[in-house]
């Protein structure tokens, strides 16, 4: 459905990756759209774009609310397999976005996050990583965390052990190829994963299973203002907040959501930073 073109070029402009020089990227950015974020982000389908094209960030547009610079440790270890929240003693929250990267919505979300100095965690689908590796590189280059959300977004409870392993492995490999980093956590599509499967993934890949404590049900498309008010009203210290950068209305809701949470004193950190604060048994 989406037009794709194979280009032999390195679309990453912020970090140099050895794998990038010869890799064929299957890219599907739409042409001719008027999105302002994309207008400033290199369009790999542009014939004018060469290997030396520099990424130019758009001007900051928010009205001043900014997340503080947070330099918390992000290494965690322990035997706890499933996490759905962090500590309740500090006003830290982790914003998580599933099912991307998306060629228009994810870059727009990244602009919104950057304008507020917020780091988030992206649970990406491996197939989308292979379609839009340049967006994954941007996610990582801007300090966000990447998590594994399977390659095909199938319900893992209906798959065999070897199929589950393949879903995890293919996605991890795609992320490493695209951005040179390995994910540290996973989130199962639909939140569906048996305890036994969680333990296997934890021992095979070292990924704890990350669920959530705040769910605005944004995938039902209730509209940006409802998504925003649900998240703000349900937020709590240590919250892991679920949202989907796949959906344009969810991204539309984020400026007001972030500003609402910042004005209430919440501070944004990544999932790994949230886990590192917990004493993991």
**Active-site residue, selected from the candidate residues 25, 83, 98, 144:** 98
Query: What is the contact surface with Ni ion in residues (CB under 5 A)?
Result: 98-99, 189
- Our CB check for Ni ion shows the closer of 7 and 159 to be 159
> Is 244 known to be catalytic?
yes
**103 burial level (CB within 10 Å; 0-12, 13-18, 19+):** buried
Residue nearest to Ni ion (CB): 98
> Is 111 known to be catalytic?
no
Task: Quote the least distance from Cβ 98 to Ni ion, whole Å.
Answer: 4
**3-state SS record for the chain:** CCCCEEECCCCCCCCCCHHHCCCCEEECCCCCCCCHHHHHCCCCCCCCCCCCCCCCCCCCCCCCCCCCCCCCCCCCCCCCCEECECCCCCCEEEEEEECCCCCCHHHHHHHHHHHCCCCCEEEECHHHHHHCHHHHHHHHHCCCEEEECCCCCCCHHHCCHHHHHHHHHHHHHHHHHHHCCCCCCECCHHHCCCHHHHHHHHHHHCCCEECCCECCCHHHCCCHHHHHHHHHHHCCCCEEEEEECCCHHHHHHHHHHHHHHHHCCCEECCHHHHHHHCCCC
- Our CB check for Ni ion shows the closer of 133 and 188 to be 188
Task: Quote the least distance from Cβ 99 to Ni ion, whole Å.
Answer: 4
- Our CB check for Ni ion shows the closer of 189 and 208 to be 189
**Active-site residue, selected from the candidate residues 83, 149, 244, 247:** 244
- Our CB check for Ni ion shows the closer of 11 and 96 to be 96
Task: Quote the least distance from Cβ 246 to Ni ion, whole Å.
Answer: 8
- Our CB check for Ni ion shows the closer of 99 and 145 to be 99
Task: Quote the least distance from Cβ 127 to Ni ion, whole Å.
Answer: 12
Task: Quote the least distance from Cβ 153 to Ni ion, whole Å.
Answer: 6
Is residue 26 within 8 Å of 46, Cβ to Cβ? Answer: no
Residues designated as active site: 98, 244
């Amino acid at each position: 459905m989406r037009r794709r073109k194979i280009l032999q070029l390195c679309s990453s402009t912020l970090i140099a990756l050895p794998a990038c020089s010869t890799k064929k990227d299957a890219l599907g950015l739409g042409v001719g759209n008027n999105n302002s974020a994309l207008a400033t982000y290199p369009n790999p389908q542009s014939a004018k774009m060469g290997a030396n094209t520099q990424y130019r960030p758009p001007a900051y547009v928010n009205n001043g609310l900014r997340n503080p610079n947070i330099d918390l440790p992000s290494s965690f270890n322990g035997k706890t397999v499933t996490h759905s929240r962090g500590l309740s003693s500090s006003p830290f929250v982790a914003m998580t976005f599933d099912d991307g990267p998306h060629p228009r919505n994810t870059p727009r979300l990244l602009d919104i996050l950057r304008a507020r100095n917020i780091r988030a965690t992206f649970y990406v689908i491996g197939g989308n990583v292979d379609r839009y590796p340049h967006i994954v590189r941007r996610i990582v280059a801007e300090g966000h965390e990447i998590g594994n959300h399977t390659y095909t977004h199938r319900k893992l409870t209906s798959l065999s052990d070897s199929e589950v392993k393949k879903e995890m492995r293919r996605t991890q490999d795609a992320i490493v190829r695209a951005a040179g980093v390995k994910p540290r956590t996973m989130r199962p599509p639909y939140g569906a994963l048996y305890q036994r499967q969680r333990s296997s993934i934890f021992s095979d890949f070292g990924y704890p299973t990350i669920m959530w404590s705040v769910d605005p049900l944004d995938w039902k498309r209730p509209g940006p203002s409802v998504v925003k008010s649900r998240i703000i009203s349900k937020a709590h210290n240590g919250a892991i907040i679920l949202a989907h950068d796949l959906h344009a209305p969810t991204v539309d809701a984020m400026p007001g959501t972030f500003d609402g949470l910042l004005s209430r004193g919440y501070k944004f950190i990544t999932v790994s930073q949230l886990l590192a604060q917990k004493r993991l048994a």
